[in-house]
Amino acid sequence: YVGQGIQHKERLGAYVFDMFKGTEILHIKGIDSDARRRWGSFDSNPIIEEKSGTVFWPAENGLIYKFTIDANKNVGKISKLRYKHDQLKRAGIESSMAVIGQYGFVSDNSGTVMSIDLKTMNPVWNVSNMDDSDATITIDTEAPGKHFLYTGNEVDLTGPISNAYFRKVDPITGEEVWKVSRECFGTPINGKTNSGGILSSPVIGKALGSHLVYTVFSRVNKQN
């Protein structure tokens, strides 16, 4: 399962290859007439439900694709979730999907965290994440059946200088449990701004560090 970040010749989108034969099984065109955004990158990884072979694949065009591939490598019908919410500024998802049971969680380019029922492909809730986020949400299991989400934002839409927030979120309601912030700076490179803030996924501590969670705030001073 391979997604393109930039266009190569006439093709842009996502691919599934037979790793034994080296043949292409599926190509999803990122420039999709059903999409809200005319940009076709697939920066995210797909997530696959092992028993059914169901694939969920967010795209930067603002669609989430769902399809099956069976043991004989036959591709089933592709369905698409074209989400919309009241904070939609720039459709698109660069983060990969995190999953608890039948619920998937993604952060998008508009600065929103969304919960999606993967059985019905209907959104459950969406909450502000302050700014664009490319990093995948991390799930922590604090006790059996008790989960929390950890997420953060870049300094992009609110930049070039703004606060980046690292947040703990309840996956059932979307409510924020706590947050910490740092002022971060965008860096000008070749006429564009390279975003500061939280650019990578957080990490949950284990063993003696199981009470800790780690994140990285990038570009916390003007000198980069």
pLDDT digit string, tens, across residues 142-180: 999 999 999 999 999 998 999 999 999 999 999 999 999
CA count, 13 A, side-chain hemisphere, 62: 19
Residue 149 and residue 201 in contact, taking contact as beta carbons nearer than 8 Å: no
- pLDDT category at 56 given cuts 50, 70, 90 is very high
54-71 b/e (C-beta count within 10 Å ≥ 16 → b): bbbbbbbbbbbbbbebee
**Mean pLDDT score, 91-99:** 96
Residue 94 and residue 43 in contact, taking contact as beta carbons nearer than 8 Å: yes
Q: Is 70 exceeded by the pLDDT of residue 224?
A: no
Distance, CA of 199 to CA of 216 (rounded, Å): 8
Name the helix (H) or strand (E) containing 109.
none
Q: Centre a 10 Å sphere on the Cβ of residue 18 and count the other Cβ atoms it contains.
A: 10
Distance, CA of 85 to CA of 109 (rounded, Å): 12
Distance, CA of 189 to CA of 143 (rounded, Å): 45
